[in-house]
A and B are shown apart, each in its own frame.
Chain A
Amino acid sequence: MSGTDNLVTTDDATDVVVADEAVKRRLGWGFWLCIGWIVLMIILAFLAPYLSIKDPNANFIDMSGKGRPPYGPSMDHWFGTDKDARDIFSRTLYGARISLTVGFVAIAFGLLVGGTLGILAGYFRGWFDRIISFVFVILLSFPSLVLAIMLTSLIERSLLTISLVLGVLSIAPVGRLARASTLQYADREFVTAARQIGATNRRIILRELLPNVVIPMGALALLGMAVAIVAEGGLAFLGLSVEKGITWGSLIQLGSEGSTTLQKSPWIAFFPIFVLFFTVLALNFAGDRLRTYLDVKESAL
């Protein structure tokens, strides 16, 4: 019933006058709650060595007759301990250091490389665009987990290399978005207008395009960080993450080792999962809200 469908879906509010003042948009408390959580995580991760929390690598074997570790949550160990009697609360905080760094470095690398290539491809088009787009397609058609496993099993798995591997994986999705949003703006008349007042390509890209392209990229960066954190967890599960040090992924992996650990002592995996889940959720939600918020109404007339 195309006829009636068409009638209903057409834009309705084209005739409403838009007043002087911009509509006061709000980010809402949900956004601030998410940002609060992320900031709290970052601060805790940063300050972990200076806080008076337990040593994450010490074994707190209880001699008072509680038996063999792991111990459940108590006043002493808020999140309980693992089977080596290590304090899970402090291990989760220390884990945040590596997990958050991996997420941040990975997406920063993706933005820098993918974003730059995408913007240049979208702006100059032609053969450059064709080559870059081809590379993106190749990268995207490679199963990313397989690629990650392949790369990580070949190299020394340090914090930097793991971050960079995940960063390489984010180049294509970030680059594609950067290219698409650049294409969307490059044909606008304000770009032509800049060119005809004598602006150089460099100036047009930096001053006219970047401020517009950076918005969807910023939102994507938050989402991408979440994806990278989860991906690190995935690698850890396969024993392919950072070799030295604690990550959320390795904590979860330890907590679900063997066939009975999850059933008998669920807290070992539960608390790291809980923290990971809320961090990823917060990043996703904040990214989404930010994008809607910054979406300037351009066609309001």
Chain B
Amino acid sequence: MSDNVETELLLEISDLKTHFRTPRGTVRAVDGVSLTLERGKALGIVGESGSGKTILSRSIMGLLPRSGVIREGSVKFRGQEILGKSTKEMQSVWGREMAMIFQDPMTSLNPVMKVGRQIAEPLMLHLGMNKAEARQTAEKLLRDVRIPEATRRLDQYPHELSGGMRQRVMIAIALACGPTLLFADEPTTALDVTVQAQILELINEQRRDRNMSLILVTHDLGVVAGFTDEIAVMYGGKLVEKAPTKVLFERMKMPYTEALLESIPRLDQPSHSRLAVIPGRPPDLVNPPQGCRFAPRCAYVRDRCLTEEPQLTAAETPGHVYACHYPVGSPEYHERRVELSKVSTVVGGSI
């Protein structure tokens, strides 16, 4: 893969906060997140709706409205601070350095512009190609994303393509100017499973070929499992656990991560298996709970969790951090787990 390329720190986020001013109060959508990403690596950001995962990716890219938004902290891209940059300054970054693939290809493609032109425009704008060159490159890009009959497709409108084809066109546009960092925000949620597998594989393959970094934002642990090197789990605007993908699935520390995984129905369980449930719902980010934000829903909660906010702590494995006072595997955790298994109604599933 990328063994010959020396590791390069592409993205360095420290203590990033994104707050929205609303009539109801300040929504702390992202509340102090620190992350790093190396060139060529794929990071999965996982969380439920309201966890701040989408806002985090938009904050990094600078795609949030200016008014009513407070952004603090630092986002360094290739060593350069980009957090405070204006839309105008960011325009040279968007497309060339960072690009994004959205969930719904129908709304993110311009419905009245031919596909070929939508791919060619950024090429002419950013790379200064002339019309003929841009069209040629656009055709090659369509072939790269495995669109059959690429030449004919250039002159079609988005509505003439199927959902999967549209998402491929979105990927072609994102790849057009050779970005080093690709954001994919729920790229397959709107697609059918058989098409989803094709699109994920395409993104993965292009990432490898182009030595791009990928930030894959999703609610689906299944999607990140196969396609990322590292996973960051978000909850209530905070990063609660981050680890290399294999480590996370094998030795997760955060009870939230565990509960999330246990609540998904699995194909290898017999039918009518009782699903483990996380009671309640995600916190209100205007008045987040004191202490650990997951505490009100956590099966392993103790007094300390309600008052003292856990800080990110390093686990035994390098690169694995978590924010929990009584992580999975701790004596307190085991003690409670035994109690819970007696009251069998609370936790039904086993991994």
Contact = CB atoms under 8 A, between A and B. Distances in A.
A4 B94 contact: yes
Counting chain B CB atoms within 10 Å of each CB, the highest count among A7, A25, A301 belongs to A7
B107 A10 contact: yes
A15 B54 contact: yes
B40 interface: no
Contact of A17 (B23, B91, B108, B284): B284
B24 A23 contact: yes
Interface string A14-27: 11110111011110
Interface in B193-209: none
B286 interface: yes
A8 interface: yes
Interface stretch (B114-122, B160-168, B224-232, B249-257): B114-122
Interface stretch (B45-53, B264-272, B307-315, B331-339): B45-53
B65 interface: yes
The A interface is mostly helix, strand or loop, or mixed, namely loop
B122 A16 contact: no
B63 A12 contact: yes
A6 B94 contact: no
B143 interface: no
Nearest to B28: A16
A21 B286 CA distance: 11
Nearest to A12: B64
A5 B24 CA distance: 30
Interface in B47-75: 49-55, 58, 61, 63-65
Contacts of B91: 4
Interface of A: 1-8, 10, 12-17, 19-21, 23-26, 301
29 contacts: A1-B121, A1-B122, A1-B125, A2-B110, A2-B122, A2-B173, A3-B121, A3-B176, A6-B109, A7-B61, A7-B63, A7-B94, A7-B100, A8-B63, A12-B64, A15-B49, A15-B50, A15-B52, A15-B55, A16-B20, A16-B27, A16-B50, A17-B27, A17-B283, A19-B287, A23-B23, A23-B24, A24-B24, A25-B23
